[in-house]
Structure 1
Amino acid sequence: MNFECSEVGLWKEGLSSYSSRIESLNKPNLLSLDDFYRNQLPPVLHQRNPNPYITTAELSKLMQWKLTRGKWRPRLLDFVSSLDEAAVNWASSKAFQSLPDVSKAVSELTVLKGVGPATASAVLAAYAPNLAPFMSDEAMEAALGSSKDYSLKQYLLFADKLQTKAKELSSECDSFSPSDVERALWSSAIGAKLLASHSDPDSKRKRKR
């Protein structure tokens, strides 16, 4: 799906096919990891009042979700799984308190070894999906034309574009968060890859341009 598309129906279609796209990847534990990330973790974070935080075990599971849904980088999981509990609690608590300043929130999390802007964005998206979308390669490609730069500066550009798109698509009838936009873009990109893989080699080459 083209990022500039303003057809709300197409975006809703992309978003509603998210779960079936997750299933289509046939990756071990991805369904349960995705359920943990989208449905179980957010309410747990919000129940920790007045200073919400994430635990090392939760961060490790979040990292498993991120790497299973995207590119597998085992060293990142090793780094995150061995982080000190107090350090993770402290950094994440400061990050959540920094919102709505997304730049400051990402910076508070990236002091942790193995946590770059992309992983930080996943933590923030779980807590505040209306502010901070997850920095997935597929959504970066669609919104910015590249997924090679994982810097804070690039993430802020990305988040701003997805916040703007979410506002553009939202109305009295439909409500989109920046995280909804990310999932719709990811879902659409995975759908296109699936189509390409089922086509003959010639049409596959044409699609790759």
Structure 2
Amino acid sequence: MANQGAPTWTTITAHQFQHALEAYEPLIQSISDTKGAKNGQSTLLELDHYRYGKAVDHFSHSKEGTQMTLKDVEKLVEWKLRHGQYRPTLMKLVQSNDPEAIRDIARDAITAYRQDGNVAAAIELLSKPRGIGPATASLLLAVHDPKKAIFFADEAYYWLCCEGQKSPIKYTAKEYLSLDTRAKQLEARLGVEAVDIERVAFVIMRDPSFTAGSASRKTSKADLAEKKKPTTGKAEAKPTKRKKSSETSPVETTSLRRSKRSKSAGNS
């Protein structure tokens, strides 16, 4: 397993899930700072904000057949290449598509998906253009339905389908449907969304410092802080300190000694 101390998708708790989700942004910031960007390029962090922010806000809220353009696809592919494994020829293949064909295919696929929820059919149709396989097709679907459709990211597949092991991936529609099935099981168990499962998987597979224990320690500190808070608006009374033996009067000392001798005789 890439991260031996991390929880599996079947054992992760709601608190651990939330803890991992909160760790995503700092991790992306760190990776973005390390990678940097060439002149005129967006940073990974900027692309990430587009993918999980602007793109989701725009496409998931459209009730009609969404007019996704070739430029939109290119932007998402750029994020995919910078966020995961870089493939130098992929972008050129995507850019070689006819803009009208991309728009029509995206519109038809998403319209049908919103009517029948058929993931397999949507992935098949979205995979028709050049340079767009099941993984990229799942990305286009995911920004339209972030609650239920998960992006076919390496990290998500490793965590949900390979027991956290970095195993070979063929990027087939069959593999994606296996990922989709397990993601939906986790969605149902924890009441979470697919878009968040993606980010949690990324943290668990990419951040070796994240473990099940790190979430538990955070919980423990929070619980201790909560217990220290007064339960009412009034200040709690301080417990009365016991007197030290040096502060005990001679009479009290004599009485205590006699009492101890009596108890000792009774126990023998």
| TM-score normalised by length of structure 2 | 0.67
TM-aligned CA deviation for residue 194 of structure 1: 9.1
2: CA distance, partners of 1:129 / 1:113:
24
Query: Is 2:208 the partner of 1:166?
Result: no
Aligned length: 190
Q: CA RMSD in A?
A: 1.8
TM-aligned CA deviation for residue 193 of structure 1: 7.8
2: CA distance, partners of 1:98 / 1:79:
26
Bigger Rg over Cα:
2
Q: Which runs of 5+ in 2 are unaligned?
A: 1-5, 38-42, 212-268
Does structure 2 retain, via aligned residues, the 8 Å contact 1:83–1:112? Answer: yes
1: CA distance, partners of 2:54 / 2:99:
20
Amino acid in structure 2 at the alignment position of 1:63: V
TM-aligned CA deviation for residue 92 of structure 1: 0.6
Written as runs of structure 1 = structure 2, the 5 A alignment for 1:46-125 is 46=60, 50-99=64-113, 100-125=117-142
1: CA distance, partners of 2:59 / 2:194:
19
Query: Is 2:10 the partner of 1:4?
Result: yes
2: CA distance, partners of 1:64 / 1:162:
24
Q: Which runs of 5+ in 1 are unaligned?
A: 171-175, 196-209
Amino acid in structure 2 at the alignment position of 1:124: L
Alpha-carbon distance change, 48 to 4 in structure 1, aligned in 2, over 3 angstroms: closer
Out of 169, 185, 195, which is 1:179 matched to? 195
Out of 138, 141, 151, which is 2:158 matched to? 141
Alpha-carbon distance change, 63 to 169 in structure 1, aligned in 2, over 3 angstroms: same
Does structure 2 retain, via aligned residues, the 8 Å contact 1:138–1:147? Answer: no
TM-aligned CA deviation for residue 181 of structure 1: 1.2
Alpha-carbon distance change, 81 to 193 in structure 1, aligned in 2, over 3 angstroms: farther
2: CA distance, partners of 1:65 / 1:106:
19
**Post-superposition CA distance 1:61-113 (Å, at most 9, x none):** 10000010001102111111222110110111111112211111111111000
TM-aligned CA deviation for residue 43 of structure 1: 2.5
2: CA distance, partners of 1:164 / 1:55:
32
Q: Secondary structure at the match of 1:135?
A: coil
Does structure 2 retain, via aligned residues, the 8 Å contact 1:54–1:89? Answer: yes
Query: Is 2:22 the partner of 1:16?
Result: yes
| TM-score normalised by length of structure 1 | 0.85
Alpha-carbon distance change, 161 to 81 in structure 1, aligned in 2, over 3 angstroms: same
TM-aligned CA deviation for residue 8 of structure 1: 0.8
Seq. identity, %:
27
Does structure 1 retain, via aligned residues, the 8 Å contact 2:149–2:195? Answer: yes
Query: Is 2:45 the partner of 1:31?
Result: yes
